[in-house]
């Protein structure tokens, strides 16, 4: 069960309580769920009881008691507890993890996009989202930013308010604004039912320019880049998109450092590790199969990915997606050593389940990177 599905489950429980006459309050249009705060428990928490208490004329805990039993009727929910003044803390059933991972593996890199939920049978075509792997071409601002889309956004506006940051600082803002707009436009179209084809086309358009594939590439103006072109387009895109619009990106040789201190390397390395685990499992004669419950933060991160895409699109904030990919990568690197059997150990259901979660996380990393216009190589 994803956070969006859980939100609808809670909303339906509220509507049933209102219709049954046990909750004398108007039903809200939407209900939000989030990770429990300090003192909370379970997988998710909601403050809907506190929101409805005033209109219902009852204490928040009394409203929470009314909703608790109705929410818990869903077989995908293992437990519902009330904490604090009336927060509802929800624990998902173990089978929910299995269903989530199956969904991700079926939908492929399109997971998290509404179109993918209706077009699971096209999951193989979703691989087109991923830009071609291989060495980055040395690209100037035109190749990095792509065509301008929409109005001027945060980076350009922030540049006018920011103090001077040295030679070339101002010239860096125009390509960043274009890239920001292009990426936001791509993210927004992933939220529509007809987004799939457009998202694929945009991702391919954002790939490093290939003069042989694009006969007009040499004719495009190429202003002097405000950064070292040897960094490559992937590194420059990540630098421009992974920090908030009001922050100035740092574009330097640290982007190419192959170390955990470099978020871009960590994210791409984590993706390549998921692919290596699949290859290693194949050599050992087993494949991914969601089954046994695996205690890992990856479950929540994978489930939260659709909501992150939606908020990144709504708030025009690609940096939110980049931060989520960083968290997912860290969790992958924490799980990777438990996926394959060690020594004479035989593959078990637990190994197959861990591999399935690793592959699902790799799917999220590949899909997220492609939406940022960054390649996700299988070998790194």
Sole residue written with tokens 């601002």:
141
User: Residue 116: which H helix or E strand, with range?
Assistant: helix 114-118
pLDDT greater than 80 at residue 88: yes
For residues 260 and 332, is the Cβ–Cβ distance under 8 A?
no
pLDDT of residue 41: 85
- Give 81-94 as a DSSP string: EEETTTEEEEEE-H
Calculate Rg over the CA atoms of the chain: 23
Sole residue written with tokens 């608790």:
68
| pTM exceeds 0.75 | no
Q: Which residue has the higher pLDDT, 65 or 74?
A: 65
By mean pLDDT, which of 26-35, 52-61, 171-180, 345-354 is the weakest? 171-180
Q: How confident is the model at residue 122 (pLDDT cuts 50, 70, 90)?
A: very low
Domains and CATH numbers, the chain: 3-92 (3.30.1360.70), 96-129+260-371 (1.10.730.10), 141-253 (no CATH)
For residues 244 and 319, is the Cβ–Cβ distance under 8 A?
yes
Structure tokens at 27: 């039903």
Measure the CA–CA gap between 23 and 66, rounded to whole angstroms: 8
pLDDT per position as a tens digit, 296-347: 889 889 988 998 998 899 999 999 999 999 999 999 999 999 999 998 899 9
């Amino acid at each position: 069960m994803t956070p969006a599905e859980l939100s609808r489950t809670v909303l339906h429980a509220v509507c049933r309580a209102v219709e049954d006459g046990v909750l004398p309050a108007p039903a809200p249009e939407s209900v939000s769920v989030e990770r429990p705060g300090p003192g909370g428990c379970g997988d998710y928490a909601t403050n809907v009881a506190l929101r409805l208490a005033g209109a219902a004329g009852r204490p928040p805990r009394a409203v929470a008691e009314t909703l608790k039993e109705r929410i818990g009727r869903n077989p995908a929910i293992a437990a519902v507890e009330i904490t604090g003044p009336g927060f509802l803390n929800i624990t998902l059933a173990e089978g929910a993890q299995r269903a989530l991972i199956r969904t991700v593996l079926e939908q492929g890199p399109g997971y998290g996009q509404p179109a993918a939920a209706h077009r699971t049978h096209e999951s193989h075509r979703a691989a087109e989202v991923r830009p071609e792997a291989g060495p980055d071409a040395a690209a100037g601002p035109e190749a990095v930013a792509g065509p301008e889309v929409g109005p001027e956004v945060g980076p350009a506006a922030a540049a006018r308010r920011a103090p001077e940051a040295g030679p070339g600082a101002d010239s860096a803002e125009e390509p960043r604004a274009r890239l920001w707009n292009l990426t936001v436009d791509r993210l927004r179209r992933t939220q529509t039912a007809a987004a799939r084809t457009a998202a694929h086309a945009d991702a391919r358009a954002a790939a490093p320019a290939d003069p042989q594939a694009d006969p007009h590439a040499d004719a495009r103006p190429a202003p002097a880049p405000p950064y070292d072109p040897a960094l490559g387009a992937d590194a420059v895109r990540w630098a421009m998109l992974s920090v908030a619009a009001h922050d100035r990106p740092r574009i330097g040789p640290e982007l190419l450092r192959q170390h955990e201190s470099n978020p871009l390397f960590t994210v791409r390395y984590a993706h390549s590790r998921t692919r290596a685990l699949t290859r290693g499992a194949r050599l050992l004669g087993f494949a991914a199969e969601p089954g046994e419950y695996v205690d890992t933060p990856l479950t929540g991160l994978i489930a939260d990915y659709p909501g992150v895409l939606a908020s990144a699109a709504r708030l025009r904030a690609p940096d939110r997606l980049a931060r989520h990919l960083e968290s997912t990568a860290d969790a992958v690197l924490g799980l990777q050593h438990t996926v394959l059997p060690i020594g004479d150990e035989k593959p078990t259901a637990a190994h197959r389940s861990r591999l399935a979660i690793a592959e699902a996380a790799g799917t999220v990393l590949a899909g997220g990177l492609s939406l940022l216009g960054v390649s996700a190589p299988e070998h790194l």
